[in-house]
Chains A and B, each alone.
Chain A
Amino acid sequence: MIRSITQQKPEEELDQLLDGLIRVFIIGCGTCVTLTHTGGEPEVKTMRQRLADKGKLVTGDMILPVACDNLTSEALTEYGAQIGQSDVLLVMTCAFGVQNIARQLKKMVVPALDTLFIGKETGLGQFDEICTQCGTCILGETGGICPITSCHKGLVNGPCGGTSNGKCEIDSEKDCAWTLIYNRLKELNRLDAMRKLQKPRNHQGEPSPGKWKLKYWTKALDNE
């Protein structure tokens, strides 16, 4: 399952964001941030205490089951009174959740987390970014490993000169994507795929900001 990977913002930054705001309502989420221990029940509890220690008044808190889900609006109405009393919502979800909440309520929101990437749990407590949703998928030529995402420079023609013992020049903990791709293609006896000179990428596969209409519905509405 894909997950939104987050980390808590530094305390100092959070203090600045909440400066001058006294009454705070805290929102966590029961999905990704619970898994990463950044916005689940224990973290919300700790945050509540931390804010109280700093002289804030916490008007209430809640854990949304899935903050990015459409049902969030209904869940929020249950806490309408406590939310209404607050100056600000401190949102301990990923940025999808923060935006989903912000569009439902006429309240300032402060994200307590930074959303790092959309990734997959690849080991106990370990997460790797696997797709950047670039709109021009080349996995068919790279043995199913994405260099746009997994190579720091997003290179499509093989490794740079910074690769060392299968690791990336920016961090010896990070694998060199092109070593992984090379190993995979070699195993599949398809190194010829790596020898093909790839043209410059189309960076406008879906020009940002992404917006999409299903043709099925466009057609159906036209016929009405």
Chain B
Amino acid sequence: MISSFKKALNSGKFVITSEVAPPKGTNLEKMVHHIELLKDKVDAMNVTDHQSSVMRFPSLGGALLVKEMGGEPILQMTCRDRNRMALQADLFFAASRGINNVLCLTGDSVILGDHKEAKGVFDLDSSQLLATIRRLEKGKDLGGNDVDGTVSFCAGAIVTPEADPLEPQLIKFEKKIDAGAEFIQTQAVYDLDSFKQFMDYARQFPVKILAGIILLTSAPMARFMNKNVAGVNVPQVLIEEMASAPKGRAIEKGVEIAGRMIKRVREEKMCDGVHIMAIGKEELVPDIMASAGLN
């Protein structure tokens, strides 16, 4: 079955995706609220997989919840916590429950998270996970055995357009496409002129690209990302704009900036859509969309 997200990607419309983050524990209230709020507004919702290596309710459970509530989930799957057997098993389960979009990630190191002494698995990497999905679709598992029942996924991956050095990242990007990625979500981009340069290169490949938009919540948050998040570069002029917001109003400024960027990406037809990451403030996604002139 073709997922509604895949249909949206292929329809030529400007695609909007967002995220929901599972909780630390079993209290699903906030996630349910975010799903309720966004399910009819966006084309699909990523459910994050122990984001930043912080142990949480599983992405598979979150994706199932999105599905049950009538939304369109994109299951994020990292290779950090599961070997090839567990990953394939979870793909079977996802497919059996109508979860048909997967974002394949290598995953952050456990050292960056809240279980620093855990064993990082990394039996597969993101490109191998993509290839695994395509292999399962052809009816074979990684052990070479026949698979009983069919699976079909809209599979994607990520790229960091401002990585330094860039070329190794682009080689991997091309490998992900060769391995079967149909869509690519980018790391947060802020300098749209430089993103356009990336798109001049990326456009030659048969893949849909969604520009990553991370909501800025304050000037210090922007500076923190520049210092600590690989491949994220918030230009000084945006940091100053955030700092210029009246006290207590920085977040409104962040919403305005995110909306402005989405509007420009859309109007200039830079890529196929955007992936909005509001990082814990998903309730602001409708405001960001309104600010971008999307309703």
Interfacial residues, chain A to chain B (CB-CB below 8 A): 152-166, 169-170, 178-179, 182, 186, 191, 194-195, 197-201, 203
Contacts and interface: CB of A to CB of B under 8 A. Distances in A.
Interface stretch (B30-38, B108-116, B148-156): B108-116
Interface in B114-154: 120, 122-128, 131-132, 142
B269 interface: no
A199 B123 CA distance: 11
For B112, B128, B164, which residue has the most chain A Cβ atoms within 10 angstroms?
Answer: B128
For B125, B126, B169, B174, which residue has the most chain A Cβ atoms within 10 angstroms?
Answer: B125
B108 A162 contact: yes
27 contacts: A152-B111, A153-B109, A153-B125, A155-B106, A155-B122, A157-B125, A157-B126, A157-B128, A158-B175, A161-B105, A161-B169, A161-B230, A162-B112, A162-B230, A163-B163, A163-B230, A166-B165, A178-B168, A179-B168, A182-B167, A182-B168, A191-B171, A194-B168, A197-B127, A199-B128, A200-B123, A201-B123
B77 to A, nearest CB: 15
Nearest to A186: B167
Contacts of B123: 200-201, 203
Say what secondary structure dominates the interface of chain A: loop
Nearest to A203: B123
For A157, A195, A203, which residue has the most chain B Cβ atoms within 10 angstroms?
Answer: A157
Contacts of B169: 158-159, 161, 163
B111 A157 contact: no
Nearest to B79: A153
B275 interface: no
Given A153-B120, A200-B124, A161 B112 contact: no
Contacts of B84: 200
A190 B125 CA distance: 22
A161 B158 contact: yes
Given A153-B122, A153-B125, A154-B122, A162 B109 contact: yes
A156 B120 CA distance: 15
Interface of B: 84, 105-106, 108-109, 111-112, 120, 122-128, 131-132, 142, 158, 160, 163-165, 167-169, 171-172, 174-175, 178-179, 187, 230-231
Contacts of B179: 197
Nearest to A166: B165
Nearest to B129: A200
Given A160-B126, A165-B164, 16 more contacts: A152-B111, A155-B125, A156-B125, A158-B127, A159-B172, A160-B106, A161-B105, A161-B187, A161-B230, A162-B112, A162-B230, A178-B168, A182-B165, A182-B168, A200-B128, A201-B123
Contacts of A163: 163, 168-169, 230
A109 B93 CA distance: 49
A138 to B, nearest CB: 13
A178 B175 CA distance: 15
Contacts of A166: 164-165
A197 B131 contact: yes
B87 to A, nearest CB: 10
A169 B174 CA distance: 22
B178 A170 contact: no
Contacts of A179: 165, 168
Nearest to B229: A164
A205 to B, nearest CB: 14
B184 to A, nearest CB: 12
For A160, A169, A186, which residue has the most chain B Cβ atoms within 10 angstroms?
Answer: A160
Contacts of B128: 157, 197-200
A191 B175 CA distance: 13
Contacts of A200: 84, 123-124, 128, 132, 142
A169 B168 contact: no
Contacts of A194: 168, 171
B171 A158 contact: yes
Contact of B112 (A157, A158, A170): A170
